[in-house]
Amino acid sequence: MSGVAKYLSAVALSAAAFLSPALAAEETEALGDADNGAVIFRKCQSCHAVGPDAKNKVGPQLNEVFGRKAGAIEGFRYSDGLIREGNNGLVWDYEHLDAYLNNPKALVSDTRMNFRGLKDEQERHDVLAYLRQFSASPRDIPEAQPTAIPKEIELSDEILAIVGDPEYGEYLSSECTTCHQRDGGDEGIPSITQWATEDFVTAMHAYKEKIRPHPVMQMMAGRLTDEEIAALAAYFAALED
Amino acid sequence: MTLNRRTFIATGVATATMAAPMVRASGKPRVVVVGGGAGGATAARYIAKDSKGEIDVTLIEPSRQYYTCFFSNLYLGGFREMQSLGHSYGALASQGVNVVHDWAVGIDRDAKTVALAGGGSVSYDRLILSPGIDFIEGAVPGWSVASQNKMPHAYKAGSQTELLRAQIEAMPEGGTYVMVAPPNPYRCPPGPYERISMVAHTLKATNPTAKIIIVDPKDKFSKQALFEEGWGKHYSGMIERIGPDFGGDKVSVNADEMTVDVDGEVIKADVCNVIPAMKAGRICEMASITDGNWAPVSGHTMQSRIDENIHVLGDACAQGDMPKSGFSANSQAKVAAMAVRGALTGSKVFPAKFSNTCWSLIDSDDGIKVGATYEATDEKIAKVDGFISATGEDAALRKATYEESVGWYAGITADMFG
Ligand SMILES: Cc1cc2nc3c(=O)[nH]c(=O)nc-3n(C[C@H](O)[C@H](O)[C@H](O)COP(=O)(O)OP(=O)(O)OC[C@H]3O[C@@H](n4cnc5c(N)ncnc54)[C@H](O)[C@@H]3O)c2cc1C
């Protein structure tokens, strides 16, 4: 176990004294193996730098990333969506970094981070343990809960396999167009035309599970069932044929 | 094929499954929509678009240009031009809606006909009423519709809003703007308070010693904590609210004298914006489908509880937990459009879903919002879930919220008028 992970476990243990025993067990899991994380991070290095004198490259530098508002490094050219999520309140805490590493597009559909994601949960935890060493006192990671089980948006095959009813999707889609401009304009509110189906389904589930921060979308997606999201996707997909 | 709006419409028409039309002795089923506002224009457009010519849709609306009440407060604040709030019916006509510019002056529910002011009548299989609001006579003693040129309500947008802005611009230095706020329920719960914010924004720049007084019959109001925080921050010392604990519910006005009497205390006003208590647009009373001030409806279909051939949308209906807003009217219109198509052409009908979000602007780049989702129960339209902006939010979020409202305006007006 790396130094960081041990340190975190120790803090967690002292906090755990105030928690119920069941919770305590969960809270003291190791965050991840930072040494292994350093090795995995090589995959990221062509675009991201971290450590002393790290500069922005194709992607922003990652010092102090924990607790940083999304899209906030001045002078770095982010996608519109990333800036918007930052304004919506997306902060890079553990949970969101984990979700982003798992599938960047689940959080930000138009992200320039062209990376399909680290699907192995342990690998993600290891990379985050490594990166966390370069964020001194992360504001949004309560020190007492370094291992709070992160939520993530990993759609099961069953969800992806649901065949939606396009007619129902057409009705449901009429709710979207009260705000989203039909001609694809994206002034103030993102465009919802020309979406790939899987991105769409992933984004809706990310709102539903409150991984993406926008309150209106969390509410709208929150009441859609898996079948209804599939119906919307089917409707949009039918338009593409 | 790529997905853009044009193909969206075109393929929608081409690929949808055709449901078996109801067998009729003569011609196509006819839908008449009265009122081309947030509810009516949306319903007419969706029925025409989704029935692909199977239903004959007629929209009756006296005005050639509809000025949205939404964003009319921003006009008072100098953020929008009146022209940008006007929308015509040309695109609806080209999408198959038969637009008749006239007033509906009577409804014969047995014969299923609507009489027009210009003479003649139109018959319907289903009638959709979305006439908005009218004011309750005598609600504010001393005020009547005849006083509206002295004491404007500006609660139907257009010339009333222009008059109010001209009056604000003509206020003497250090003058007094009084708003008589309406009792619940009324069109756009945050509307009066967004208006106060926008009037304050204008006066702060042009007439900073002016005073704003709100005479309010309500104990509390929509987004109160957010508005009050904003007023303290941007317009400190300018706005005073007299609630019912100080007689805000015992108010009368004198339009000739330009005075407002609040429980015996007389205030001299330079501008007096009277927003009286409201009821469903008069045509609902004429059709005898109201119960009290509003038209009761089933949330499943927006059908009148008194006549199942009539659907009532928007401000005019008793809409359960939903606030009376343009967003709500638009949302209800889609439920009604689906139900009407189902009844007349046998197309599929799905469970009703409703939503609403109301944005308000407090000052430049300081936007807030409140919203909720709803579902139909047998009893009413019931709230499912909701959210509201928080006090103390950072400036970037407030700016993003305002920008979002600008996007929403573009979205909903395109959704209404095509
Ligand atoms: C200052 C202000 C700010 C607002 N801000 C917002 C906002 O930010 N967001 C929001 O969602 N809502 C807002 N609203 C509320 C919104 O404008 C209304 O809730 C909405 O317009 C209601 O739609 P409706 O279809 O019921 O009525 P309306 O949109 O008023 O349409 C009614 C139409 O019916 C026509 N009509 C009436 N009687 C007849 C008849 N007998 N024959 C033929 N036609 C007739 C009228 O000419 C009118 O065009 C605001 C309102 C005000 C006053």
Each residue's pLDDT tens digit, B239-276: 999 999 999 999 999 999 999 999 999 999 999 999 99
A165 pLDDT exceeds 50? yes
In order of start, what are the domains of chain B with their CATH numbers?
A: 5-134+278-417 (3.50.50.60), 141-274 (3.50.50.60)
Average pLDDT, chain B: 94
A16 pLDDT exceeds 80? no
A46 pLDDT exceeds 70? yes
pLDDT in the model for residue B218: 98
**Which residues, including other chains, have CB under 8 Å from residue B70's CB and lie 6 or more apart?**
B38, B188, B325, B326, B409, B412
- Taking residues A179-201, what's their average pLDDT? 80
Min mean pLDDT across A215-229, B4-18, B320-334 is at B4-18
Ligand 1 centroid vs B152 CA: distance in angstroms? Answer: 17
pLDDT in the model for residue A23: 36
pLDDT in the model for residue B406: 96
What radius of gyration do chain B's Cα atoms show?
22
Neighbours of B51 (CB within 10 A): 23
More confident residue, A141 or B149: B149
Q: Which of B353, B365, B397 to mutate to test the interface with A (most CBs of A within 10 A)?
A: B353
Q: How much is the ipTM here?
A: 0.83
Number of helices (H) and strands (E) in chain A: give both, helices first.
12, 0
Q: Are B167 and B152 in contact (CB under 8 A)?
A: yes
- The tens digit of pLDDT for each residue in A99-120 reads 999 999 888 988 989 888 999 9
Q: Is B371 near ligand 1, meaning CB less than 6 Å away?
A: no
In order of start, what are the domains of chain A with their CATH numbers?
A: 34-133 (1.10.760.10), 157-238 (1.10.760.10)
Residue of B nearest to A221 (CA): B373
Neighbours of B158 (CB within 10 A): 18
pLDDT in the model for residue B10: 35
Contact B408 A240 (CB under 8 A): no
More confident residue, B393 or B15: B393
Q: What percent of chain B has pLDDT over 70?
A: 94
pLDDT in the model for residue B25: 44
Residue of B nearest to A84 (CA): B400
- The tens digit of pLDDT for each residue in B125-156 reads 999 999 999 999 999 999 999 999 999 999 99
Residue A206 has phi, psi (to 5 degrees) of -65, -35
Q: Which residues in B lie closer than 8 A to residue A177 (C-beta atoms)?
A: 411, 414-415
The closest of B329, B333, B139 to B249, measured between CA atoms, is B139
More confident residue, A64 or B97: B97
The closest of A81, A43, A26 to A214, measured between CA atoms, is A81
Highest mean pLDDT among A13-17, A182-186, B25-29, B380-384: B380-384
**Which residues, including other chains, have CB under 8 Å from residue A72's CB and lie 6 or more apart?**
A86
Between chain A and chain B, the number of residue pairs with CB atoms below 8 A apart is: 125
pLDDT in the model for residue A11: 35
Q: Are B42 and B59 in contact (CB under 8 A)?
A: no
> Can you point out the beta strands (E) in B3-85?
30-34, 56-60, 65-67
Residue of A nearest to B328 (CA): A178
In the DSSP assignment, the letter for residue A91 is B
B177 pLDDT exceeds 70? yes
Instruction: Encode A59-81: b = buried (16+ Cβ within 10 Å), e = exposed.
Output: bbbbbbbbbbbbbbbeeeebeeb
pLDDT in the model for residue A153: 63
Neighbours of B401 (CB within 10 A): 24
Q: Are B324 and B187 in contact (CB under 8 A)?
A: yes
Contacts of residues A11-20 at CB distance under 8 Å and 24 or more positions apart, as own/partner, are A11/A143, A11/A144, A11/A146, A12/A144, A12/A145, A12/A146, A12/A147, A15/A143, A15/A144, A15/A145, A16/A144
pLDDT in the model for residue A136: 59
Residues in chain A: 241
A194 sits in the region (left: phi over 0; alpha: psi -120 to 50; else beta) called: left
Q: What percent of chain B has pLDDT over 90?
A: 93
Atom of ligand 1 nearest to the CA of B103: 42
Ligand 1 centroid vs B302 CA: distance in angstroms? Answer: 17
The CA–CA distances, whole Å, from B204 to A106, B27, B37 equal 45, 61, 33
